[in-house]
A and B are shown apart, each in its own frame.
Chain A
Amino acid sequence: MRWLLLKDLQILRRSPLIVGLLIAYPIALGVLIGFALSADNSKPRVAFLNEVPSDQNFSIGSGDETIDRDLARNQLCSRVECVDVSSRSEAEHKVEDGEVIAALILPPDLLDKLNSLASLDPQQPRVEVLVNQDDPLKASLVDDRIQALVTEANLILSQRISDEASTYLNLLIEGGSFSLPLIGDIDVLGLQRAGAMLRTVARAVPEGSAHASLERVIRFAKLARQNLDFALPILGAVAEPIAVDKQVVAGDTAELDTFAIAVAVTVTLMFVTVLLVAGSLALEREENAFGRITRGLVGPTGLLAEKIALGIVASFAVTLLLLAALSALVSIDWGRTPLILCAILGGGAAFAAFGAAIGGSAREVRASSLLAFMVSLPIAFLSLVPSGTVSATVFHVIEFVRALFPFDAALDTMQGALDAAGPSVGVPLLHLTAVLVAYGVIARLALRRFA
């Protein structure tokens, strides 16, 4: 078997173009898929044009709480990556070029209109959004992001207004000092103190119609105070009617960067190993060497074992190369190297057996390469479909299909190996072992047709 392995490595050494493509293509594909997935969930880039005059601000009620143009920018830019632009035309260019997914323009009269909300002539403030809907997916993403931003801005405003309203209500209930521009401080009596004063007066008024009227006023003041007390928590609830209490009931999620690395590594591992093993096994038949090899000491099972060993060797070489290259861009916990090596071994062996089954079935190098692509790519994409994005029935079907192939288990193993917060490594490794045995048997049966 050693001589066959050396022979395959020698053939690879003499085929630099194939080796180059075999390494460069999956790595490029893997890195692109991995980082496209992570980029999708990171802060989108939004061009930001603030036309609000720098000296303006928006104050509510007493003026203690103000929103100026910088605060508005900070609030918005905490949710998206703001790219400051100086003009509308620059914003339009950036959107058209795809440099940003949208442009957000705050018009000069935004704060004026916000201030008008508290006046007798309220005008609804508007912000302008420029988008480039060159594909439906992006359009949907932009709509969701902008809607989320506006909802959040409205929520912040309603919270501020609600807080201010609570202050007024407290003043009405308990009384106190209130400051107005130009007029100055005003002392507000408050319903509590008014009720107490009325009760004192009532004791001095003799029984009769005047006393009865006074008692009605006292009861009304009490009722008003009690109901306004109820209004305070209601105002708070209106400002944020639904609070989120998140609990994880299934799934262990690694860091987003780790997930991206795991996807990149697993895609690379899959393509390199499956294509190499499938092609190498099919080559034995294409070169008519299968019969000659297997009539000697190396039987079909030995040849199969050699091809799986070749796949594992290639898996280690390419995956470690990719991880070393990625470590220059992202953080990789090299303290987990033993687990990473286990993940490569498990994934590499299972993908190699899968490739052997393809190579044994296709029997020609070109046909095996085509088949490997046609089968592997959809399986990889199916394995990246998150739950909840399709109907339950479709997702169960997807889960069943995933379980038949090594990709999903290899991805879980790699996530677990790269990050302690990821899934456990044990179960997916067992899954990979089962897949290795199953595809090994299929490949061995397929080799019976080789002779």
Chain B
Amino acid sequence: MSGNQVSGASAAIEARGLSKSFGERRALSDVSFAAARGELLAVIGPNGAGKTTLLSILAGILDADSGTIAVPGEVGWVPQSAALYRRLTVAENLRLFAHLEQVADVDAAVERMLEQTGLADRRDDQVGTLSGGNQQRVNIAIGLLTAPAVLLLDEPSTGLDPRQRERLWEFVLGLAGGGTTVIYTTHHLLEAERYGTRLLVLADGEDVFDGTAVDLHRAVPGPNGDFEAAFVRFLRERGH
């Protein structure tokens, strides 16, 4: 691991020594990192590296076997597949989860998210009738209902076409610009390089790199420019 880039005092979220096993399989092993307010932290790694497990622990879906998490504010969580009721309308989904999250002013929160996601004109449409991109926007909107300080996005662009992906990242960048710390996992290395202000690389449950995309390039010798090739070389050199 390259070491945390954010000091504990200024971090919007800080995790220390997170470990998690499923039976004999060790999914996470002593993972530590911190992220500052408004930072976009991309968590990348091969399949089975522990990315979703890490986000699930940060979201409170799973309990870590050991380690601590310090988050001063709310944490919003957006699962990989849209966690929505397709028979309910956009507004009904938002209202339901606002009630479940005990949001103080439910109606105001729903209106704010409809406005923020640009779905106000689709508020009475059943979610099942929306495009994949719009469903993902509702999915993210639910994660933002509590106006969280930290937003966790698990593979947010999976299943979206390039145009929908671009609109999604515009929206996410806007959130980060507003001060929300965004931690996202992705298999699209280009998205990690382009949008992530920092990268956390996991392999076999261990955090093997924490730094910028430029730092990753520097860490492995070879031709410049191809981030994907640099990433693969990085993992290979470290035996993953």
Contact = CB atoms under 8 A, between A and B. Distances in A.
Nearest to A3: B99
Contact of A3 (B82, B86, B100, B126): B100
Interface in B54-85: 56, 59-62, 77, 79, 81-85
A233 interface: no
Given A15-B87, A451-B61, A451-B62, A292 B99 contact: no
B176 interface: no
B83 A296 contact: no
Given A11-B87, A287-B83, A287-B84, A292 B97 contact: yes
B152 to A, nearest CB: 11
Given A291-B83, A293-B100, A296-B100, A10 B61 contact: no
Nearest to B127: A287
Contact of B96 (A7, A288, A291, A295): A7
Interface in A1-35: 3-4, 7, 10-11, 14-15
Describe B's contact surface by its main secondary structure: loop
A385 B58 CA distance: 54
Contacts of A291: 56, 59, 61, 77, 79, 83
A243 interface: no
A275 B106 CA distance: 33
B61 A288 contact: no
Interface in A272-298: 287-289, 291-298
A223 B62 CA distance: 102
Interface residues of A, number: 19
Question: Which interface residue of B59, B83, B84 has the most chain A CB atoms within 10 A?
Answer: B83
A100 to B, nearest CB: 51
B142 A292 contact: yes
Interface residues on B, range: 20 to 34
Contacts, number: 59
Question: Which interface residue of A293, A295, A296 has the most chain B CB atoms within 10 A?
Answer: A295
B119 interface: no
Contacts of A451: 56, 61-62
Contact of B85 (A7, A295, A296, A298): A7
A451 B86 CA distance: 20
Given A10-B92, A295-B61, A289 B85 contact: yes
B88 interface: yes
A451 to B, nearest CB: 6
B7 interface: no
B30 interface: no
Interface string B36-54: 0000000000000000000
Question: Which interface residue of B86, B99, B142 has the most chain A CB atoms within 10 A?
Answer: B99
Contacts of B88: 7, 10-11, 14
Given A292-B77, A292-B97, A293-B100, A287 B61 contact: no
A369 to B, nearest CB: 17
Interface in A92-128: none
B84 A297 contact: no
A3 B96 CA distance: 6
Question: Which interface residue of A7, A11, A293, A451 has the most chain B CB atoms within 10 A?
Answer: A7
Interface of A: 3-4, 7, 10-11, 14-15, 287-289, 291-298, 451
13 contacts: A11-B85, A11-B87, A14-B126, A288-B83, A289-B84, A291-B77, A292-B83, A293-B100, A295-B77, A296-B97, A297-B100, A297-B101, A451-B56
Q: Top 3 closest A-B pairs, CB basis?
A: A288-B83, A292-B83, A3-B99
Given A3-B99, A295-B60, A298-B100, 16 more contacts: A7-B88, A7-B92, A10-B88, A10-B92, A11-B85, A11-B87, A14-B88, A15-B87, A288-B79, A288-B82, A289-B84, A291-B59, A292-B79, A296-B97, A296-B101, A297-B100
